[in-house]
Amino acid sequence: MASAWEERLKRQQAVLKEGRGHLIVIASYGTGGPEPTDAPYVIEGQTATMSEEFVRKHAYDLGVQNVVYGRRALEWLAAAGDDSLPGLYIDWGTGATASLFSGRDANFQEGTSYSTDTVVKRWDDIDKLRFDPENRWVKYELEFWRGVASAYAEGIALLPKLYRSPLDLANDLRGNRIFEDMVLEPEQVERLIERCTDMIIDADRFFHAQVPVIRQAPSGIWGVAVPGREMPGVNGDPVDLISAEMGERFNHPYIERLIQYGGGMYFHHHTLGASRFESVSRIRGLTVQQYTADPKCTRVYDVLDERWVAASHRATIDLWQNLFEAPDVDAALDIMSRGRFIVHVNAEKLQDVQAMVKRIRRAEERACSPV
């Protein structure tokens, strides 16, 4: 008999990989659940914010602690009756993520980190770029995963990293002048992004080889998961800052290369680029297009229509906007139940979440019933 987490994984698999069903439900309530990997941690009885020194000393402890949070979440999520699986990955900020490839220092600030300088100052510098397993940041991450492996519990999805997309990594290594370069020297930009794609594949292959538990666990992030390794994830924010046409030149082909390598893709970006939903959905082999809501930007529930439904049939759309905030919940469910969407439900009280999950299940049943 399948366990509760295996049943949730099957429900997600049906929508994400098999094209059956319409809605995946991710629920949260109160103040429980797992802590994000970029939060302060209590280690040795003291609360510490992130820094390279802290990571160097406590990477293994952080791996263990994240599994503890994941185990707690398995129990906490089961009560909601949703489809989610707790996920575990490393995110020590965009700067630390880029340093995995550059070896630079990172400037840690509250909740994130930033790169301290650009690397590609001349185009010849591209030729020096490579993934180096001896990079100290790689060693920190291996220590984290050793901690995870020592305490891992079945049902927790793992992702080696939410990588920066090839274009996003190129933006970090070159700086914001890359947006001028796209017009003035596009071939050099493409050469840089191609090298970034190579490095991401090399890094992911390395971590899968070095950390068996990553190969054995479901693959996923932020409650969404599939069996096996077929859903690497990337931060694709730059597509929201350029035209759809430029995204189709400087982003999509390189994401497709990563998909060919990994088997699927969870693509994160923001509602600043809500108008990119059709373009991103056409990335071949994409598993999930995820939207994080930005202040003062388009609220997806205000613009959902049949175009979004059509895009969701190409790649499931994960809307990080609380369904309780929809202007008309029933209207939103009616539209989403004709496509493939990941629906988020958040309330203070467990009973309110449970009631909304049942409401979503009824909408799903109506959508799946023969006319």
Average pLDDT, the chain: 92
Q: What is the pLDDT of residues 217-241, one digit of tens each?
A: 999 999 999 998 889 999 999 999 9
Q: What percent of the chain clears pLDDT 90, i.e. is strictly above it?
A: 81
The label of the residue with tokens 């707790």 reads: 86
Tens digits of residue pLDDT in 272-281: 999 999 999 9
- Tens of pLDDT, residues 81-113: 999 999 999 988 899 999 999 999 999 987 789
| Predicted pLDDT of residue 38 | 46
What are the backbone angles phi and psi of residue 344, rounded to the nearest 5°? Answer: -105, 135
pLDDT at 42: 60
Burial of 351 (0-12, 13-18, 19+ CB in 10 A): exposed
Position 69 scores a pLDDT of 86
> What pLDDT is attached to residue 36?
47
For residue 73, name the pLDDT band (cuts at 50, 70, 90).
Answer: confident
| Contact by Cβ (8 Å): 259, 190 | no
- pTM of the predicted model as reported, rounded to 2 decimal places: 0.94
pLDDT at 55 over 50: yes
Residue 35 predicted with pLDDT over 70: no
Least confident of 69-73, 94-98, 142-146, 318-322: 69-73
pLDDT score of 326: 96
| Amino acid occupying residue 258 | L
pLDDT tens for 163-213 read: 999 999 999 999 999 999 999 999 999 999 999 999 999 999 999 999 999
CA-CA distance, 250 to 247, in Å (whole number)?
A: 5
DSSP-assigned letters across all residues of 204-258: HHHHHHH-HHHHHS-EEETTEEESTT---EEE-GGGGTS-HHHHHHHTHHHHHHH
Interval 300-321 mean pLDDT:
96
Residues 226, 287 contacting (CB under 8 angstroms) = yes
Q: Are strands 219-221 and 224-226 parallel, antiparallel or unpaired?
A: antiparallel
- Cα distances from 162 to residues 93, 279, 347, in angstroms, run 10, 21, 27
